[in-house]
Chain A
Amino acid sequence: KAGVTQTPRYLIKTRGQQVTLSCSPISGHRSVSWYQQTPGQGLQFLFEYFSETQRNKGNFPGRFSGRQFSNSRSEMNVSTLELGDSALYLCASSLVGGGNDGYTFGSGTRLTVV
């Protein structure tokens, strides 16, 4: 079966711009979680969506937002980009979510803010 697809793979943006990242989960998976990975901070939880509802949220500013569509595809948006937002953004899908079953991660979107 197809894995988790994240697009785009790479992005270079300028400070102040906004960006939208996309994630298509494994077919049948209704939970999509987003993580930010940086060398210094490891994997930091952004938010989780399940059946189009945000079920949980991490400690990120309001510039970070997301949504999930009826086909379970999810997008995350970062507005007013800052240099510190440069990171690998990973999307993870699972059947049940909420950390109750294993996650399948996508290859990630590497965002560079200049």
Chain B
Amino acid sequence: GQQVMQIPQYQHVQEGEDFTTYCNSSTTLSNIQWYKQRPGGHPVFLIQLVKSGEVKKQKRLTFQFGEAKKNSSLHITATQTTDVGTYFCAGLPISGGYNKLIFGAGTRLAVHP
């Protein structure tokens, strides 16, 4: 079936270091979305990427969508303790109609001060 794989599962960094999580789909995607879930919280929508090769920035966060629309990455520059949480990618497989958003397993980020 359609899958979205996300790596790494877990990463801990020292505050100030960079962090990257990668997302790979088994099928071509119509779009990819990124969410952040703080410990004990619920997923919060960060961004949606639609175009092949698209790059978007939100302050210290940089999101990329691959040329083939099968992979994506989220890069955080100079992490802060407020970045702690689990980052999920969610891909929408290309289809003729409405489809299901498929979530990756998430990357849990721990930031040590």
**Interface set of A (CB-CB < 8 Å, partner B):** 33, 35, 42-43, 45, 48, 50, 55-56, 58, 90, 92, 97-108
Contact = CB atoms under 8 A, between A and B. Distances in A.
Chain B interface size, under 10 / 10 to 19 / 20 to 34 / 35 or more: 20 to 34
6 contacts: A45-B100, A90-B42, A98-B99, A99-B90, A105-B45, A108-B42
Interface string B50-75: 00000000000000000000000000
B45 A103 contact: yes
Nearest to A42: B105
A98 B98 contact: yes
B92 interface: yes
A101 B48 contact: yes
Given A55-B98, A105-B44, A100 B103 contact: no
Q: Which of B44, B97, B98 has the most CB of A within 10 A?
A: B98
B43 A45 contact: no
Given A90-B42, A99-B100, A103-B35, 19 more contacts: A42-B103, A43-B88, A43-B90, A45-B103, A48-B98, A56-B99, A90-B43, A98-B97, A98-B98, A99-B90, A99-B92, A99-B98, A99-B101, A100-B30, A100-B31, A104-B45, A105-B42, A105-B44, A107-B41
A99 B30 CA distance: 9
A45 B104 CA distance: 12
A45 B3 CA distance: 13
